[in-house]
């Protein structure tokens, strides 16, 4: 079948969105020949299985013929559908009400242009670099701005999912400036609301000041922040208001009174849980346009992708229940490649993702070299490891449900601590030297890097381990070491970042807790990245690595991932490598999947191999 979509010319000049209605009419194609309803009925009246249509012999299947006749009697061959439904049909996702395959969707007028560009058949018109932009946009960045402007023109939400370090921040800033570049838009454009994690509020403010000093920026945060009418009056005097996810919930009454030109969510994985009150509050905000920024559109489950798309274009992927039935279960549980490809086609028009490893995107970013650093346990570590395994397996065998999951995660945590250092596990403040294979290897590699005049980032997920490392490395290497964690005040954090980036004589080593330092920081002075302990989530680890491997980096970046041989660290690393294909296509890998293992599987996972212990 073929469907022709058309709409009044007036519609194309206003905001559309996927819920807008368009006129359509169906036509039937038999073989390669398109027929009118009357021609089709005449052929059916012959009641023969083989018919000749304009020189071609074609088989007619009774069940398809009956479905077609019933449909045309009901619909009288024309009607209305939403633009979202038309697009889903065009992308091959939804069968028509006929129950017959849709061969093509052909648009008339402006809708033809829209469908061609959304499906990639026609290039999007490029925009020029905004006159007030202080900097230079790379060609792929200008394409990103053009894409955002195109989707805005038709009222669609957009997910800019470029790889970390490719410049999503300046692409959004350029879009805001582009809106104001035309005199007729300057006075009409209202304020944009940017919602981001607290750790990068200051970074956003600085980037806006740097690239777009003409934009008036308001930071809505802190005990002295405005509320009620005072907030509304102040907000409309600014071009962009920056706030945090926690305040988007806490101050939802103040934020919801305004009609925002944009609501932009940075690190959009923060709205991955649709049931969370924070997510619900953000989705209820009144916005003419919506944009999601993320380097990891899906971290753990496809439901997260659905939640982000539901924020951007409500209803497009169906209800949460329908999405789970049609996509999440077939893809995640049964690895249905057809469903995965169908989902990819559906979301592709609204998700733009470019990778910095793609040399066609950016040629001036140096290579990133990843390597595993395998370490042995000391005898002390091995003894502690065995004791934890025996104690915890006995408890796990006697538990079930939520309690069992909690015990498994607790065991993982304890064994990670033992692999790091006995002092971290025992928490007795005892001396560090000579007791950890990881620490000994880290010292050796850092000494070599410092001799070359290099700088390094060291990531750990444990704040207590960061504290131990900072003190120990300063004493043994005789160099200043910075440490950033969740409790580091913003002013102190900014000073550390600035000194690390600009001062050659400053601290060459920067320890960061994985969650606090994993996003929003530009630390290109480093060309070594050490993952002292593993998060076992490729998306989270890559975000952390991208603090150094991003635009502005002039050297090759070496990424060192520490793994204790013969322990759960090595076995989980091997599992992740095997799962990486699925993780990197649509689904990511967290740690919760480990809690579903049987007790026999956990025994194998936790078991300490002979090769684990060093001499």
Domain end position, chosen among 352, 383, 404: 352
pLDDT value at 153 more than 50: yes
pLDDT of residue 17: 64
Domain end position, chosen among 299, 322, 352: 352
* Residue 100, helix vs strand vs coil: coil
First to last CA, the chain: 72
Instruction: Judge whether 128 lies within some domain.
Output: no
**Reduced to 3 DSSP states, what percent helix, strand and coil does the chain have, rounded to the nearest 5?**
45, 15, 35
Taking the C-alpha atoms of residue 159 and residue 347, their distance in angstroms, rounded to an integer, is 9
Instruction: Judge whether 361 lies within some domain.
Output: no
Taking the C-alpha atoms of residue 267 and residue 287, their distance in angstroms, rounded to an integer, is 19
pLDDT value at 587 more than 50: no
Instruction: Judge whether 283 lies within some domain.
Output: yes
Query: Cβ distance 589 to 583 under 8 Å?
Result: yes
Q: How confident is the model at residue 556 (pLDDT cuts 50, 70, 90)?
A: confident
**Unique residue bearing structure tokens 């050490």:** 530
Partnered with residue 160 across adjacent β-strands are 293, 352
pLDDT (mean) for 565-589: 70
541 and 454 housed in the same domain? yes
Q: What is the 3-state secondary structure (H, E, C) of 373-422?
A: EEECECHHHHHHHHHHHHHHHHHHHCCCHHHHHHHHHHHHHHHHHHHHCH
Taking the C-alpha atoms of residue 299 and residue 49, their distance in angstroms, rounded to an integer, is 52
pLDDT value at 582 more than 60: no
20 and 50 housed in the same domain? yes
* Residue 519, helix vs strand vs coil: coil
Query: Cβ distance 266 to 196 under 8 Å?
Result: yes
Instruction: Judge whether 358 lies within some domain.
Output: no
**Unique residue bearing structure tokens 């009288």:** 76
pLDDT value at 158 more than 90: yes
CA 550 to chain centre: 17
pLDDT of residue 10: 38
29 membership: H or E segment, kind and range: strand 21-30
Q: Which domain holds residue 399?
A: 368-612
Q: Among 17-31, 212-226, 575-589, whose mean pLDDT is lowest?
A: 575-589
Taking the C-alpha atoms of residue 479 and residue 450, their distance in angstroms, rounded to an integer, is 9
Q: How confident is the model at residue 614 (pLDDT cuts 50, 70, 90)?
A: low
Taking the C-alpha atoms of residue 505 and residue 525, their distance in angstroms, rounded to an integer, is 12
pLDDT value at 76 more than 70: no
341 and 252 housed in the same domain? yes
Q: CATH code at 180? A: 3.40.50.10810
pLDDT of residue 327: 92
**CA 186 → CA 176, 402, 606, distances in Å?**
10, 55, 62
91 and 184 housed in the same domain? no
pLDDT value at 380 more than 90: yes
**CA 309 → CA 43, 103, 313, distances in Å?**
45, 26, 6
Query: Cβ distance 443 to 473 under 8 Å?
Result: yes
Q: Among 226-240, 369-383, 397-411, 506-520, whose mean pLDDT is lowest?
A: 506-520
Q: What angle do helix axes 379-397 and 401-420 make, rounded to 10 degrees?
A: 180
Instruction: Judge whether 601 lies within some domain.
Output: yes
Local structure of residue 613 (DSSP, 8 states):
B
pLDDT value at 393 more than 80: yes
pLDDT value at 96 more than 50: no
Structure tokens at 389: 């395994």
143 and 244 housed in the same domain? yes
58 membership: H or E segment, kind and range: strand 56-59
**Unique residue bearing structure tokens 């008036």:** 216
What percentage of the chain reaches a pLDDT higher than 70?
82
pLDDT of residue 50: 77
Nearest in space to 571 (alpha carbons), one of 609, 543, 540 = 609
378 and 317 housed in the same domain? no
Nearest in space to 157 (alpha carbons), one of 335, 290, 52 = 290
Nearest in space to 86 (alpha carbons), one of 165, 23, 41, 35 = 23
**Unique residue bearing structure tokens 């129950």:** 99
379 and 348 housed in the same domain? no
What mean pLDDT is reported for the chain?
A: 84
Number of domains in the chain: 3
Instruction: Judge whether 375 lies within some domain.
Output: yes
**Digit-coded pLDDT (tens) for 320-379:** 999 999 999 999 999 999 888 889 888 988 999 888 678 777 676 678 888 888 888 888
Q: How confident is the model at residue 66 (pLDDT cuts 50, 70, 90)?
A: confident
pLDDT of residue 4: 44
49 and 167 housed in the same domain? no
104 and 33 housed in the same domain? yes
**pLDDT, greater one: 61 or 186:** 61
* Residue 562, helix vs strand vs coil: strand
pLDDT of residue 77: 47
Return the beta strands (E) in 300-384 as ranges.
Answer: 351-352, 368-375
66 membership: H or E segment, kind and range: helix 62-75
303 and 427 housed in the same domain? no
pLDDT of residue 13: 37
Specify the length of the chain in residues: 615
pLDDT (mean) for 110-134: 81
pLDDT of residue 79: 63
What percentage of the chain reaches a pLDDT higher than 90?
46
Instruction: Judge whether 422 lies within some domain.
Output: yes
Q: Among 95-104, 172-181, 400-409, whose mean pLDDT is lowest?
A: 95-104
Instruction: Judge whether 575 lies within some domain.
Output: yes
Query: Cβ distance 231 to 260 under 8 Å?
Result: no
pLDDT value at 230 more than 80: yes
Structure tokens at 577: 């490598």
Note the maximum CA span of the chain.
95
Query: Cβ distance 380 to 422 under 8 Å?
Result: yes
Domain end position, chosen among 293, 323, 352: 352
Q: CATH code at 372? A: 3.40.50.300
Q: Among 327-331, 355-359, 444-448, 485-489, whose mean pLDDT is lowest?
A: 355-359
Q: Is 339 left (phi over 0), alpha (psi -120 to 50) or beta?
A: alpha
**pLDDT, greater one: 57 or 499:** 499
419 and 340 housed in the same domain? no
**pLDDT, greater one: 591 or 585:** 591
Q: Burial code of 296-309, b = ≥16 C-beta within 10 A, e = fewer?
A: bbbbbbbbbbbbbb
pLDDT value at 429 more than 70: yes
412 and 532 housed in the same domain? yes
602 membership: H or E segment, kind and range: helix 599-606
Q: Among 76-80, 202-206, 373-377, 428-432, whose mean pLDDT is lowest?
A: 76-80
């Amino acid at each position: 079948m073929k469907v022709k979509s058309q709409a009044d010319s007036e519609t194309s000049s206003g905001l559309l969105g996927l819920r807008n209605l368009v006129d359509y009419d169906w036509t039937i194609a038999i073989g390669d020949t398109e027929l009118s309803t009357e021609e089709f009925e005449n052929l059916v009246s012959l009641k023969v299985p083989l018919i000749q249509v304009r020189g071609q012999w074609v088989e007619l299947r009774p069940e398809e013929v009956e479905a077609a006749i019933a449909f045309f009697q009901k619909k009288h061959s024309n009607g209305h559908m939403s633009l979202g439904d038309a697009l889903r049909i065009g992308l091959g996702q939804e069968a028509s009400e006929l129950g017959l395959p849709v061969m093509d969707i052909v648009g008339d007028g402006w809708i033809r242009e829209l469908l061609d560009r959304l499906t990639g058949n026609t290039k999007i018109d490029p925009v020029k670099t905004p006159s007030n932009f202080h900097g230079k946009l790379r060609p792929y960045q200008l394409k990103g701005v053009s894409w955002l402007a195109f989707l805005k023109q038709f009222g669609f939400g957009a997910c800019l999912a470029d790889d970390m370090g490719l410049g999503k921040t300046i692409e959004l800033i350029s879009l805001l400036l582009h809106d104001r570049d035309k005199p007729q838009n300057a006075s009409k454009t209202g304020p944009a609301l940017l919602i981001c994690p607290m750790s990068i509020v200051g970074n956003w403010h600085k980037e806006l000041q740097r690239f777009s000093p003409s934009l008036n920026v308001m930071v809505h945060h802190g005990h002295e922040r405005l509320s009620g009418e005072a907030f509304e009056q102040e907000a409309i005097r600014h071009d962009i208001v920056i706030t945090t996810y926690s305040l988007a919930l806490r101050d939802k009454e103040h934020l919801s009174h305004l009609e925002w030109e944009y609501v932009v969510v940075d690190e959009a994985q923060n709205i991955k849980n649709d049931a969370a009150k924070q997510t619900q509050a953000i989705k209820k905000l009144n916005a003419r346009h919506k944009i999601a920024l993320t380097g990891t559109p899906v971290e753990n489950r496809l439901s997260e992708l659905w939640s982000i798309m539901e924020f951007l274009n409500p209803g497009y992927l169906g209800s949460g229940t329908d999405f789970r039935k049609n996509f999440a279960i077939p893809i995640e549980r049964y690895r249905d490649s057809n469903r995965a490809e169908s989902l990819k086609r559906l979301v592709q028009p609204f998700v733009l993702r470019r990778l910095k490893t793609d040399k066609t995107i950016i040629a001036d970013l140096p290579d990133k070299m990843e390597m595993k650093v395998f370490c042995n346990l000391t005898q002390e570590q091995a003894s502690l490891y065995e004791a934890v395994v025996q104690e915890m397996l006995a408890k796990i065998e006697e538990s079930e449900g939520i309690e069992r999951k909690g015990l498994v995660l607790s065991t993982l945590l304890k064994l990670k601590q033992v692999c790091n250092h006995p002092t971290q596990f025992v928490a007795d403040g005892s001396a560090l030297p000579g007791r950890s294979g990881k620490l000994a290897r880290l010292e050796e590699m850092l000494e070599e890097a410092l001799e070359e005049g290099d700088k390094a980032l060291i990531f750990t997920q444990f704040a207590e381990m960061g504290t131990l490392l900072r003190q120990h490395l300063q004493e043994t290497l005789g160099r200043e070491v910075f440490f950033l964690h969740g409790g580091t005040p913003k002013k102190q954090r900014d000073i550390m970042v600035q000194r690390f980036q600009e001062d050659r004589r400053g601290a060459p080593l920067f320890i960061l807790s994985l969650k606090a330092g994993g996003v929003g920081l530009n630390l290109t002075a480093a060309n070594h990245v050490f993952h002292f302990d593993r998060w076992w989530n490729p998306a989270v680890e890559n975000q952390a690595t991208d603090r150094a491997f991003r635009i502005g980096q002039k050297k090759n970046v070496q990424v060192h991932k520490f793994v204790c041989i013969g322990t759960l660290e090595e076995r989980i690393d091997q599992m992740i490598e095997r799962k990486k294909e699925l993780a990197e296509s649509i689904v990511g890998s967290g740690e919760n999947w480990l809690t579903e293992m049987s007790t026999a599987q956990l025994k194998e996972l936790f078991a300490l191999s002979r090769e684990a212990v060093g001499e």
